[in-house]
């Protein structure tokens, strides 16, 4: 009887995690991506990613010691579409993700090799550049709040695809509201202490401060029009 009970409790985590981590072929994977509901995650090395990746990919190398910290910043309520070369590394990444609160993870079972075999498109890039992000201490940030009536902070990460998509819009807003609203781009790793102080747990995250007090927050991407409409009211 005791053996049966032990087997039951050992089996529960496996069944729960297997329900959340689904292994799919390239056809299904492409269909899921095209729904536009989730985050595409490539867990290969930077060189592999640069040589060819699925469009719209967020890239976090599973061999990076900071993988769990970076992956933990992704929105857990959204579906994650994870892949690597053959499906092995991404399966391990997916297992970690479901064990750490991600609601639904889809693994490209035979990796990008299967994607390529189906003739689906890939992008090539050279994104491995030095991190030159500005670092703000908590004191620096408090001084900005005291000197500016309205401050918008945009937390981002260079590997985050939604952040990359938003970057041109943030830059346009910086130009549009120059001298009126202070807009800060805060790379989350360079500003980990500030992120901790402001309870930022995902990227992108947007925070609006007015007269030194936080008055608005959005965890996730936003369109230019939505942000512009918000700032016009300030």
CA distance 50 to 219: 28
Of 206, 197, 198, residue with least CA distance to 156 = 206
Does residue 160 have an active-site annotation?
yes
Residue 66 token pair: 């900071």
CA distance 187 to 195: 9
CA distance 120 to 26: 9
Beta strands in 13-89 (DSSP E): 21-24, 39-42, 57-59, 80-83
Q: Catalytic one among 40, 49, 54, 163?
A: 163
Note the maximum CA span of the chain: 73
Q: Catalytic one among 73, 153, 160, 184?
A: 160
Of 162, 154, 93, 158, residue with least CA distance to 126 = 158
Active site members: 160, 163
């Amino acid at each position: 009887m005791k053996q049966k009970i032990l087997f039951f409790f050992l089996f529960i985590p496996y069944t729960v995690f297997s329900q959340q981590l689904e292994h799919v072929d390239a056809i299904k994977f492409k269909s899921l991506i095209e729904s536009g509901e989730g985050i595409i995650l490539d867990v290969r090395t930077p060189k592999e990613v640069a040589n060819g990746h699925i469009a719209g990919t967020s890239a976090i190398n599973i061999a990076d010691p900071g993988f769990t910290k970076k992956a933990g910043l992704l929105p857990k309520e959204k579906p994650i579409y994870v892949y690597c070369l053959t499906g092995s590394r991404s399966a391990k990444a997916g297992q970690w993700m479901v064990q750490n609160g991600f609601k639904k993870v889809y693994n490209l079972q035979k990796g990008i090799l299967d994607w390529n075999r189906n003739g689906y498109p890939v992008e090539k890039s050279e994104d491995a550049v030095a991190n030159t992000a500005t670092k703000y201490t908590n004191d620096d940030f408090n001084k900005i709040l005291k000197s500016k009536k309205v401050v918008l902070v945009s937390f981002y990460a260079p590997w985050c695809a939604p952040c990359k998509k938003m970057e041109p819009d943030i830059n346009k807003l910086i130009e549009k509201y120059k001298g009126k609203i202070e807009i800060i781009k805060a790379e989350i790793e360079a500003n980990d202490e500030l992120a901790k102080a402001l309870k930022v747990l995902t990227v992108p995250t947007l925070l609006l401060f007015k007269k030194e007090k936080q008055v608005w927050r959005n965890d996730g991407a936003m369109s230019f029009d939505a942000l512009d409409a918000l700032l016009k009211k300030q």
